[in-house]
Amino acid sequence: MRMPAISIRLRLTLGALLPLFVAILFCSLIGVYIINSQIAAQAQDKVRTDLNSAREVYLNEIAHIRDVVRLSANSLNAAKAMDNGDRAALAPLLLTQLRHEQLDILTAVDLRGRVIYRAGNPSAFGDKPLPGRLVSRALAGELSAGSEILSGAELAMEGERLLKQATIQVVATPRAKTSLKVVEQSGMVLLASAPITGSRGRIVGALYGGVLLNGNNALVDKIKRIVYEGIRFKGEDVGTATIFLNDLRISTNVQTASGQRAIGTRLSAEVYDRVLVRKEKWVDRAFVVKDWYFSAYEPILDLSGKVIGSLYVGMLERPYAAVQRKVTCYFGAMLLLGSLLGLAVSGYIGTRLSRPIRELQNLVKRYSAGERGVQIAVTAEDEIGELAAEFNAMTRELTAQEEEIRCLNRDLELKVRERTAELEEKNLLLIKTREELVRAEKLAAVGELAAGVAHEINNPMAIIRGNAELLRMELPPEDPSLEEVEIICRQVSRVERIVAKLSHFASREQKQLGLTPLGPLLDEILGQVGHQVPLQGITVVKRYRELSPELMGDGEQLRQVFTNLILNAVQAMPQGGELSVAAAADPLADECAVSITDTGCGIPRENMEQIFNPFFTTRASGMGLGLSVSYGIVRDHGGRLEVESEPGRTVFRVLLPLGLRGPHAGISPQPELLLS
């Protein structure tokens, strides 16, 4: 049997599960995508807001410096000292403020713009400071603050320490713009300036002060602290802030792989173009130094509106990626669990649905193997239940049909057997009839031959006899030849007898019909047999005493038949034995059976066919006419002559009709013939 590639159960399971699996998978993918992109979008939004906060902190710092400078400029001591041109009086005031407010620069200038006192570098005065724009504005009575770039020389004027602090080695950074600079000495400074107003309300000078951002991480750390509140992920700060001078990190808490602040590294070219060239914000994922960050940049402008750097905040992407991974894992686990559950449920349902089908399959197999009366229990009322009911009905119907066919077959076989038996019977009859015909023809031919031979022999024999008798009469009694003549006479008599018998055999005599009592006839024959052949050692058993049916026929011919058969039986037992003669009448069949049984040598199988042929004999002195003549007589009386033989037992059975009225009545082809 061809095995189904996929079982119904598997197909049901797949059919139920596959759409479910696809739906769950689809939902999971969409869910993961939405959640992940939401997480990313929210992170971007947050970093955008963080940048705003960072800018606020940055501006607050500028505002603070501005307030410090304004308050210092407005102090009475400052005005008085400037009025009097007293440098020494300015020194304690400005130095105190510088230290107290942790400024890097706090310098007073007179109305001509010359430096009166530098708290950061008291020895350098009398020059004109380079952040002249701020000084001019202050001398014009304006308060101003912002981010400015001071060159190395300007920083050196404000103090050697500042130049040192501002000097940064440029680190080669991949993805950054190409730059020939190896060392940066310019500094980004948060600067503020304010006018110093004298006692009569006129401006007597100006004060400017500021903080150098190069290498000063206080501001970026403050931004990180305020905005990100020190959130960490696996020992690393999640939030970072950086201040760029142009594209150079001058103040940052982004760390290098070795754990150092990444000062001196540079901005990527992409961000550079967007933020520094196009003066736009940049909010996106960015690879910063050694990791991916959700990043936001915005340009830092100086007081003239020129881009001098940028402010950056960024959040490490890894915590968000971890969340995204977690979400993906949850969805994956859900998908797996859902699929397993679906598999179990649909497997269970599939098993339940396919069980009756398998049962049905088994029953079909059993039915095909020849088992009958198989019925499936109809439990469900669904299509499978209907199928089972249909199957039951079908097997019942098939069984009934088979039974019918079997009956028909039996009848047919019976009829065939009957017909065959009839045919065989008829065939046998035909064979017998043919044999009989052949035999009859043979008998007739032999009869004619015998008649001819008898006729031709008679005359010469008569002459021989006459001459022999003459010779006997003429010879004297003492003649020694007389004995030979006597022998000739006896043998001539014998030949004459044979010739007579042959003539008898050939002659066509009318039957002398009459009722012949069977018992006395058989008695008579058995009495006479002893005269013809010696019966020494032979026991004669008669089994016909009680019944003595009368046979309608030619008494003499019937006598000849029984005599021949009894003589044959006796001759078959030269060493003695038992001769049994039985007779039985069957009134129903209107038939009488006479059996002559001997315990002699039996008839060999190969002779069986020939014993009824004329002149067939196995005896030296026999003529082979006894049985053929008997056969002819019995047949002539409408009867049958049958023989059965085996070594030690031979039965000849003569079956004659009781009321003999056969078609052959009156015809008697054979004369009396008793041969031994």
Of 90-98, 213-221, 325-333, 624-632, which part binds ligand ADP (CB under 6 A)? 624-632
Contact flag: residue 603 with ligand ADP (CB under 6 A): yes
Instruction: Confirm if 172 and 99 have CB atoms less than 8 A apart.
Output: no
Q: Tell me how far, at minimum, the Cβ of 626 lies from ligand ADP, in Å.
A: 3
Q: Tell me how far, at minimum, the Cβ of 422 lies from ligand ADP, in Å.
A: 33
Contact flag: residue 622 with ligand ADP (CB under 6 A): yes
Residues from 357 through 396 that contact ligand ADP (CB under 6 A): none
Residue 592 burial (10 A CB sphere; 0-12, 13-18, 19+) = buried
Q: Tell me how far, at minimum, the Cβ of 673 lies from ligand ADP, in Å.
A: 10
Q: Tell me how far, at minimum, the Cβ of 578 lies from ligand ADP, in Å.
A: 12
- The total of other beta-carbon atoms located within 10 Å of residue 76's CB is 9
Contacts for 89 with CB less than 8 Å, ≥ 6 apart = 77, 80, 81
Site string for ligand ADP, 521-560 (x = CB under 6 A): ----------------------------------------
Instruction: Give φ, ψ of 405 to 5 degrees.
Output: -65, -40
Instruction: Confirm if 495 and 464 have CB atoms less than 8 A apart.
Output: no
Of 46-54, 109-117, 305-313, 614-622, which part binds ligand ADP (CB under 6 A)? 614-622
232, β-bridge pairs: 237
Number of residues lying near ligand ADP (CB under 6 A):
22
Rounded distance between C-alpha atoms, residue 313 and residue 225, angstroms: 12
Which is nearest to 63 in space by CA: 55, 74, 75, 73? 55
Which one of residues 38, 352, 618, 659 is an interface residue with ligand ADP (CB under 6 A)?
618
Tell me the C-alpha to C-alpha distance, in Å, between residue 269 and each of 11, 173, 179, 186, 559: 58, 10, 11, 21, 153
Which one of residues 600, 632, 657, 671 is an interface residue with ligand ADP (CB under 6 A)?
600
Q: Tell me how far, at minimum, the Cβ of 594 lies from ligand ADP, in Å.
A: 14
Q: Tell me how far, at minimum, the Cβ of 408 lies from ligand ADP, in Å.
A: 51
Contact flag: residue 286 with ligand ADP (CB under 6 A): no
Contact flag: residue 192 with ligand ADP (CB under 6 A): no
- The total of other beta-carbon atoms located within 10 Å of residue 154's CB is 20
Q: Which lies closer to ligand ADP via its Cβ, residue 210 or residue 600?
A: 600
Which one of residues 53, 151, 167, 617 is an interface residue with ligand ADP (CB under 6 A)?
617
Q: Tell me how far, at minimum, the Cβ of 620 lies from ligand ADP, in Å.
A: 9
Instruction: Give φ, ψ of 553 to 5 degrees.
Output: 175, -170
Rounded distance between C-alpha atoms, residue 48 and residue 199, angstroms: 48
Supply 640's token pair: 């049958």
Which is nearest to 116 in space by CA: 142, 80, 91? 91
Tell me the C-alpha to C-alpha distance, in Å, between residue 212 and each of 18, 61, 162, 191, 584: 67, 12, 7, 9, 160
Which one of residues 115, 611, 633, 634 is an interface residue with ligand ADP (CB under 6 A)?
611
Which one of residues 21, 292, 367, 616 is an interface residue with ligand ADP (CB under 6 A)?
616
Supply 138's token pair: 């202050």
Of 30-38, 459-467, 585-593, 599-607, which part binds ligand ADP (CB under 6 A)? 599-607
Contacts for 589 with CB less than 8 Å, ≥ 6 apart = none
Rounded distance between C-alpha atoms, residue 566 and residue 142, angstroms: 180
Contact flag: residue 211 with ligand ADP (CB under 6 A): no
- The total of other beta-carbon atoms located within 10 Å of residue 400's CB is 10
Contact flag: residue 446 with ligand ADP (CB under 6 A): no
Residues from 634 through 663 that contact ligand ADP (CB under 6 A): 650
Residues from 569 through 598 that contact ligand ADP (CB under 6 A): 569, 572, 598
Of 118-126, 195-203, 239-247, 623-631, which part binds ligand ADP (CB under 6 A)? 623-631
282, β-bridge pairs: 297
Rounded distance between C-alpha atoms, residue 632 and residue 557, angstroms: 10
Rounded distance between C-alpha atoms, residue 139 and residue 194, angstroms: 8
Contact flag: residue 624 with ligand ADP (CB under 6 A): yes
Q: Tell me how far, at minimum, the Cβ of 675 lies from ligand ADP, in Å.
A: 5
Contact flag: residue 619 with ligand ADP (CB under 6 A): yes
User: Where on the chain is the footprint of ligand ADP (CB under 6 A)?
Assistant: 564, 568-569, 572, 598, 600-601, 603, 611, 616-619, 622-628, 650, 675
